[in-house]
């Protein structure tokens, strides 16, 4: 079963305007499947095969010379030696649009290599796991399962696949294979325990010392491991929002998982009932809302997506700055929220001299449309997109 991806039209348009295209994203987000679905006639080569890696590393010029037409090069992070040669080949024919289509699973490392070699020659995209919108647009799936299954495409395309087995295999592959290309982890059991402890901190301020004490390794090691999770696309660090309001606020970032299904697995959640009864349900919901903003609007944490919290504990879960408007978004897992738990009225006035402000409450309610009260709009992002426009 194929689920259409929101990004498809952008990719098909991009290959008509640039010589090279790179699609990044964590493993199993559907990068290779999407490109092969969109461009079935284009030759496909994957660097998951060692023989291709060895050939490309030994002679980048010879390897690229084999391809006379368009080609998809999958998992390009394994052969960074190709980037310099790609620059030479592309410069020989700058009008060969869509000639080189690539995927990669280690976003930050790839960005660094590309900025050195292919700046101005390549267009970049980042693919997340399925959004709630993409799942519900399929029309015949149990959308409530999205809360605990998350968005890895294979979990939705293969109804016979056991969710726990999928994630256990995913973690094993990541820890035993991909991680070794990023950092040297000598004690894999410590790293596994680290990932599970990080899951309990989702939606919380990142505290390296606290993680160090709980995992039993040094602060320096924790920082390396957090960076490894970020590089490989498994987590996001969401920085706080600063503005000229007369004082500095909380400075530590908050930590979120790129897929809340993986987060649920790490917390032992294997069903809808597990999700609704879990003590961290509020954090799970917040994580899902955060990623719906990223997936449906292409928001980038630290660029146009933040959180707000002052030293008195007044907090707004998400702050989106876009086209002169500041969207203040609260994520609450319940259906009825006491007004005293919402801080819109305490935060919005701080920014009204500079921005128009819109208040949005993301609730787990059984509604498929946006509703409106005097002070805020509210909706369930499972059933309705969080629209970033004036309500």
Split at pLDDT 50, 70, 90, the class of 177 is confident
**CA-to-CA separations, 323 to 243, 300, 354, 358, in angstroms, rounded:** 16, 15, 12, 12
Tell me which fold the domain 8-126 belongs to: Rossmann fold (3.40.50)
In the predicted model, what is the mean pLDDT of residues 324-351? 88
Considering all CA atoms of the chain, what is the largest pairwise distance in Å, rounded to the nearest integer? 67
Least confident piece of the model among 70-79, 136-145, 210-219, 248-257: 248-257
Q: Dump pLDDT digits (tens) for 21-31.
A: 999 999 999 99
pLDDT at 304: 94
pLDDT at 131 over 60: yes
Q: Using an 8 Å Cβ cutoff, are 176 and 188 in contact?
A: yes
What are the extents of the domains in the chain?
8-126, 132-379
Of 32, 133, 124, 110, the closest CA to residue 73 belongs to 32
- Is a pLDDT exceeding 50 seen at residue 339? yes
- Find out whether 43 and 6 touch, Cβ atoms under 8 Å: no
Alpha-carbon gap, residue 149 to 145, rounded angstroms: 6
Q: Are strands 100-104 and 20-24 parallel, antiparallel or unpaired?
A: parallel
Tell me what the pLDDT averaged over the chain comes to: 90
Pick from 135, 221, 149, 138: which is nearest to 184 by CA? 221
> How confident is the model at residue 246, as a pLDDT?
46
User: Tell me: the pLDDT tens digits for 57-105?
Assistant: 999 999 999 999 999 999 998 898 898 899 999 999 888 899 999 998 8
Instruction: Work out the average pLDDT over 31-48.
Output: 95
- The predicted-structure confidence for 374-388, as pLDDT tens digits, reads as follows 888 999 999 998 888
The answer on pLDDT for 113 being more than 60 is yes
- Helix, strand, coil share (%) of the chain residues, nearest 5: 40, 15, 40
Does position 107 have pLDDT exceeding 90, yes or no? no
- pLDDT of amino acid 271: 96
Q: Is 372 exposed, middle or buried (0-12, 13-18, 19+ CB in 10 A)?
A: exposed
């Amino acid at each position: 079963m194929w689920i259409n991806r929101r990004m498809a039209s952008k990719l098909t348009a991009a290959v008509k305007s640039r010589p090279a295209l790179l699609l990044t994203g964590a493993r199993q987000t559907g990068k290779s499947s999407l490109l092969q679905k969109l461009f079935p006639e284009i030759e496909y080569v994957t660097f998951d095969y060692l023989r291709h890696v060895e050939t490309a590393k030994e002679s980048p010029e010879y390897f690229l010379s084999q391809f006379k037409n368009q080609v998809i090069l999958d998992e390009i992070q394994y052969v960074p030696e190709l980037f310099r040669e790609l620059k030479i080949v592309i410069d020989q024919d700058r009008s060969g649009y869509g000639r080189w289509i690539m995927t990669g699973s280690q976003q930050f490392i790839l960005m660094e290599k590309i900025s050195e070699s292919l700046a101005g020659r390549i267009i970049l995209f980042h693919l997340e796991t399925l959004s709630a919108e993409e799942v519900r647009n399929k029309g015949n799936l149990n959308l409530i399962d999205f809360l605990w299954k998350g968005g890895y495409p294979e979990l939705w395309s293969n109804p016979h696949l056991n969710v726990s087995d999928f994630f256990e295999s995913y973690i094993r592959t990541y820890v035993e294979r991909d991680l070794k290309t990023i950092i040297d982890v000598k004690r894999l059991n410590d790293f596994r325990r680290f990932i599970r402890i990080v899951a309990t901190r989702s939606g919380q301020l990142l505290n390296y010392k606290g993680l160090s004490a709980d995992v039993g390794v040094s602060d320096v090691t924790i920082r390396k491991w957090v960076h490894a999770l970020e590089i490989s696309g498994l987590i996001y660090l969401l920085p706080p929002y600063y503005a000229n309001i007369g004082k500095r606020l909380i400075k530590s970032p908050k930590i979120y998982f790129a897929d809340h299904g993986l987060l649920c697995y790490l917390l032992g959640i294997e069903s809808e009932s597990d999700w609704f009864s879990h003590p961290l349900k509020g954090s799970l919901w917040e994580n899902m809302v955060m990623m719906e903003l990223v997936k449906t609007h292409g928001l980038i944490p630290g660029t146009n997506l933040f959180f707000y919290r002052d030293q008195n504990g007044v907090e707004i879960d998400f702050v989106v700055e876009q086209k002169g408007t500041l969207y203040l978004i609260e994520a609450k897992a319940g259906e009825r929220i006491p007004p005293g738990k919402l801080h819109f009225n305490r935060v919005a006035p701080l920014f009204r001299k500079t921005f128009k402000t819109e208040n949005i409450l993301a609730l787990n309610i059984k509604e498929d449309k946006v509703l409106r009260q005097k002070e805020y709009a509210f909706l369930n992002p499972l059933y309705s997109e969080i629209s970033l426009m004036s309500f």
